[in-house]
Structure 1
Amino acid sequence: MPFKTILAIIQGVEDAERVSDCAGALAARHEAHLIGLHAEALPVPYTSAIGFPDAEFIQASAGVNEERSKKIEAIFRQRTAGAGITAEWRSLESFSGDSAHSGIASARSCDLVVAAQAGSDGASPDVDALLYDAGRPVLVTPHDAPCLASFRRVIVAWNGSREAARAAFDALPFILEAEGTEILVVDPPEGQAAAEAGADIAAALERHGANVTVHTEASHGAATDDIIRDRLAATGADLLVLGAYSHSWLKELLFGGVTRTVLQSMPVTAFLSR
């Protein structure tokens, strides 16, 4: 089943071209309708020395926001104009100014959300909000890798969790197009033979027509995200499918984890569901 409605979450000028290019190419491949969305922060009503709202400051801030929003819209329209797709633009305002928070309602009516990985300056939409509240899969485009509309080799990070199952089946359109998909199991459950780990999900995907293999590894104390990164490099995979925050969100926030690594520095495109 192809993706027919795609939402591009654009946080700022810095990620506008990359997200527009990736989302536009995906929409063209799947013959999908594309929605571009950006939110600006509502001006904070500072008060003057005599206690009245500073109307001049509010007006100036609103003007800057409008100018930036129009610039981002122009980039989106320019980068998607020749893609042969239907596209629309949604410009919003919110107290936070975060495009992901503002885009949750729109995301719930889409098949796929596209957002940028955090840049070196840390400016990026709050993808966590989309993962927890939108109920839709999110494709995270890395800042140092090519934008792709289809993927040759896919790795599904499998730990048997609800989140991993959701991600694997949500990603079927990509998995079915790929030359091969690997189910990667790190530290199979105790008492389970290595050959059995990941066998059921591999068989389920094969029944859809996917070409699937299973690979298991013991961590020997190494971080799971490092093992995944090494496996991506070893196989040449260009898409990672991951169940987001299958462990505690607070634990990952405090101590790190695979989802945090994906959102910040994973070198390939990542497909996340929760």
Structure 2
Amino acid sequence: MAYRNILVHLDQTDRSSERFDLALDLAGRRQARLSAFYSTSMPYLFQGQEKELRDQVQADCAARAQQAGVDFVWIPEIRSMAHQPLAARLSFQAFFADLTLVGQPGPEAGAPPAPPRDLPEKIILTSGRPILTIPFAGNFQRVGTRVMLAWRSGRASARAVSDALPLMAEAEAVYLLSFATDSSEREQSEVTLKKLADFLALHGITAEVEVRLISGIGLGDALLNRVAEEGIDLLVAGGALPTAPAPMASQLLKQMTVPVLMSS
């Protein structure tokens, strides 16, 4: 599967412009269309002050996309959905994208027009599409050079693997990581990751496999430690149970240090 339409969520936050640059790079390298959706919490309460800023952002994004030679589309708010929560409006737009970029909510989150603190989690749960969340701190001009896939057997992880194939195919290094709490679990995980590595090889992707025994540390903390140790710039993980984010997924979305792609 190739990404043909990449969606980026824009808003009034400081990191919105950098998020657009990252999306522009992703779209340009894949000859994909870049769709931008500018939306905030409770836009009907801030119509006057938002319109001028939104128009400026639209003009700036269109100019940057034209300079980069990227097919660009600006998606306006749907008037009939204006009173729905931001997560509902953004999820609707994500239905029609191969990949959606959102920002990790920053310190200002929760107070309109800033996004709600749980925006990424809700989009992952409700869109049915891969969501790439960008940390509110750090410099990320390009992602996907060194990719780590955190595997926990189940639907969400399997879906994340499939959704991340276009990114892993271009990576310089791909790591498959699973954690175990005893030798029996470790043996089963090694078998599983070997099958996963064989599957990726059919797509031309060479991956290193690692199963780690852990004790006295949470899965999320252990994973973030390995991300730092290996210099990872993209983490891929299954994001959700049927009706709620998996505990590790919630931790990663709150404490992420690199962009995280999640599917549900």
TM-score by length of 2: 0.85
Q: Cα offset for 1:151?
A: 1.9
2:258 matched to 1:265?
A: no
Aligned to 2:170, which of 171, 174, 177?
177
Change (3 A) 1:107 1:220: same
The 10-residue stretch of structure 1 (223-232 or 189-198) with the greater mean CA deviation from structure 2: 189-198
The 10-residue stretch of structure 1 (102-111 or 64-73) with the greater mean CA deviation from structure 2: 64-73
Percent of residue pairs identical = 26
> Is the 1:20–1:80 Cα contact (8 Å) retained in structure 2?
no
C-alpha distance in 1, partners of 2:134/2:85?
21
Q: Cα offset for 1:101?
A: 2.4
2:80 matched to 1:85?
A: no
Change (3 A) 1:148 1:199: farther
The residue aligned with 2:204 is: 209
> Is the 2:152–2:178 Cα contact (8 Å) retained in structure 1?
yes
C-alpha distance in 1, partners of 2:43/2:234?
37
After superposition, what is the alpha-carbon deviation per residue over 1:196-241, rounded to whole angstroms, capped at 9, x for unaligned?
2422212111221111111111220311111111101111111100
Change (3 A) 1:80 1:189: farther
Give the secondary structure class of the aligned counterpart of 1:143. coil
After superposition, what is the alpha-carbon deviation per residue over 1:137-191, rounded to whole angstroms, capped at 9, x for unaligned?
0111122333344522211100111100100111001111112211110126873
Which residue identity is paired with 2:62? Answer: R
The residue aligned with 1:106 is: 93
Alignment of 1:239-258 (within 5 A): 239-246=234-241, 249=244, 257-258=247-248
After superposition, what is the alpha-carbon deviation per residue over 1:106-149, rounded to whole angstroms, capped at 9, x for unaligned?
21111110111121222446222321222110111122333344
Q: Cα offset for 1:75?
A: 4.0
Give the secondary structure class of the aligned counterpart of 2:190. coil
Unaligned runs of 5+ in 2: none
Change (3 A) 1:95 1:128: same
The residue aligned with 1:67 is: 52
> Is the 2:125–2:244 Cα contact (8 Å) retained in structure 1?
no
Which residue identity is paired with 2:172? Answer: E
The residue aligned with 1:146 is: 139
C-alpha distance in 2, partners of 1:77/1:260?
34
Which residue identity is paired with 2:258? Answer: V
Q: Cα offset for 1:97?
A: 5.8
> Is the 1:69–1:91 Cα contact (8 Å) retained in structure 2?
no
The residue aligned with 2:37 is: 37
The structure 1 segments of at least 4 consecutive aligned residues displaced by more than 6 Å after TM superposition are none
C-alpha distance in 2, partners of 1:263/1:205?
26
> Is the 1:21–1:80 Cα contact (8 Å) retained in structure 2?
no
Aligned to 2:83, which of 62, 81, 95?
95
Q: Flag the structure with larger Rg.
A: 1
Q: Work out the number of aligned pairs and report it.
A: 252
2:190 matched to 1:198?
A: no
C-alpha distance in 2, partners of 1:178/1:191?
32
C-alpha distance in 1, partners of 2:215/2:243?
22
Q: Cα offset for 1:103?
A: 2.5
Unaligned runs of 5+ in 1: 45-60
The residue aligned with 1:20 is: 20
2:155 matched to 1:162?
A: yes
Give the secondary structure class of the aligned counterpart of 1:220. coil
> Is the 2:125–2:243 Cα contact (8 Å) retained in structure 1?
no
Which residue identity is paired with 1:62? Answer: Q
Give the secondary structure class of the aligned counterpart of 2:39. strand
Which residue identity is paired with 2:50? Answer: N
Give the secondary structure class of the aligned counterpart of 1:88. strand
> Is the 2:181–2:214 Cα contact (8 Å) retained in structure 1?
no
Query: How large is the RMSD of aligned CA atoms in angstroms?
Result: 2.4
